[in-house]
Amino acid sequence: MNIQSRFQRGLSLVELMVALAIGMVLIAGFLQIFLSVRSTYSTNEAASRTQENGRFALEFLSEHARMAGYRDPKHLDRPLPIMPPTGNGCAFSSGTKSAFCTEERGIVSSPDNGDETGDRIAFTYQPPLDSSGKRLDCAGNEVTDADGVIINTFTTRATESSSGLACRSIYDDGTTLSSGYTELVDGIDAVQFQYGLMSPTGFIHQYVTADNVPNWSDVGALRIAVLANSISTVTPPPPDKDYYLLDAGPYNFSDGKIRQVFTTTVYLRNSIQ
């Protein structure tokens, strides 16, 4: 008698179907874990990018706000730290150069590519010498006039896929310094400013919008708020939410991006009051 014939060879159809069912359950479980981990990673990465964009934008704006009004001590006159709006003391009251004046802007709901989507602010100062002995504007372009006072304007602009913080510069006499905006930080939907009015005793007693500043020589502090996004979408999309930037809002989006509001307050070191 052949001993090998006593042993079963292969699997029955029932056993094979049971094995396949168990395998499919295990694969489905592993697939669910993989998708969950990937979604968590994508969300965390998007949140990190949002925070990075917001902090970079605040850092750029705060740095130039602290320099606003600066000029070498050899000069007796100092510029007004912030160029006022058109019709309220801006040196460029008309024409294309009025784009270098501070401007209070409301919500831009459906901007076209290149449109400004937030407030515009214009810092006026003489760029200090950097470590290489050069004077630079907000975009890193060299300022060749050693005694020149420039105006650095900042705003947010819409792009084809997102929006970002951008700047451009001009000499205070109207001479062109940079031809157009330079993108600084991507993923910034809007920026808003409020201006702190200083009392004769040196205390900030009120924050107002640009259109409500009675005397720009009294501005001694600046509130800054930026709305940053993750640039890329996340799955599942974040819940609908209204966003407020100081006095502006609500902003509402349904594009699947993570968003966060960042705010800070900067005191103007070179206030002329």
28 falls within a domain: no
**Cβ partners under 8 Å of residue 47, min gap 6:** 230, 258, 260
160 falls within a domain: yes
DSSP state of 57: H
Q: Could you list the residue range(s) of the whole structural domain that residue 231 is in?
A: 33-267
- Residue 3's pLDDT band (cuts 50, 70, 90): low
**The overall pTM is greater than 0.95:** no
10 falls within a domain: no
1 falls within a domain: no
**pLDDT tens per residue, range 116-127:** 889 999 999 999
Of the candidates 35, 42, 36, which has an alpha carbon nearest to the alpha carbon of residue 234?
42
7 falls within a domain: no
**pLDDT tens per residue, range 22-61:** 878 777 777 777 666 666 667 778 888 899 999 999 999 9
d(CA 226, CA 238): 19
12 falls within a domain: no
The helix/strand/coil state of 96 is helix
100 falls within a domain: yes
> How many domains does the chain divide into?
1
Reading the block at residue 55, the tokens are 């902090």
DSSP state of 129: B
Q: What is the dihedral sign for C-alpha 68, 219, 118, 244?
A: positive
26 falls within a domain: no
DSSP H helical segments within the chain, as ranges?
Answer: 13-67
